[in-house]
Amino acid sequence: MQYEIDYEKLKALITFGSMIAAIISAVYATRKVKEAKRQNEIAIHNERLKIFKAILELKGDVVRRGVDIIERDLFANYYEYVKLSEFYYSNAIHEQINDYFKTVWDMASYHNLYNEFEGKKEQREYGEKAYKLLGEGREKFDKLEIIMKEQLRLVKPNHSLKKYLGLAEIWRKKTVKKRPKPS
């Protein structure tokens, strides 16, 4: 028994098979691209988180030591993170991080001058400048912390849920009857 080959049907079958293979490849490639983007987002988030933790540690050092913080410690522990923030945060946030670090650095510098000029008339001036910068640093950190947390937040707050919960509380207050005090 001999079979005749219908070349037109064979061409159509091969074309159809190729088309199916191309669609499957495209779907697979799309998934891989999405997965790669997600992995990249995770890596960037982790780097941002490291920088945020370093800024929190800096704040902790400032709270613990106040104006007694040492420039050498600032450079050794935090300078790298401040400079890396340029690559992982927007320019506006990087500038705020840099500004906060500079304020703390200047505070430590003035305190060093305060110690160097002990017993001289300039000492008081340097001490006042250091404490003024300590207060400015606190204000700058508070603003910076809010902005950095917003960048790091993986789950954005659901404001409609807060609104719903607020309405539920109002409804509860209106519908719950006050019980008379026992006599």
Q: Give the pLDDT band of residue 5 (cuts 50, 70, 90).
A: confident
Alpha-helical segments (H) within the chain: 7-65, 71-77, 79-88, 91-116, 122-152, 159-175
Work out the burial of residue 112: count CB atoms within 10 Å of its CB; fewer than 13 is exposed, 13-18 middle, 19 or more buried: middle
The amino acid that residue 121 corresponds to is: K
Cβ–Cβ under 8 Å, residues 55 and 146: no
| pLDDT tens for each residue of 21-37 | 999 999 999 999 999 99
Is the pLDDT higher at 143 or at 6?
143
Q: What is the mean pLDDT of residues 52-74?
A: 93
Cβ–Cβ under 8 Å, residues 74 and 105: yes
| pLDDT tens for each residue of 91-131 | 999 999 999 999 999 999 999 999 898 888 888 899 999 99
Question: Which of these, 152, 56, 67, lies nearest to 106 by C-alpha position?
Answer: 67
For residues 102 and 79, what is the distance between their CA atoms, to the nearest angstrom? 10
pLDDT computed for residue 180 by the predictor:
59
For residues 178 and 34, what is the distance between their CA atoms, to the nearest angstrom? 56
Mean pLDDT, rounded, of the chain: 87
Q: Which residues, 6+ apart, have CB-to-CB distance to 57 below 8 Å?
A: 77, 78
pLDDT computed for residue 101 by the predictor:
97
pLDDT computed for residue 6 by the predictor:
83
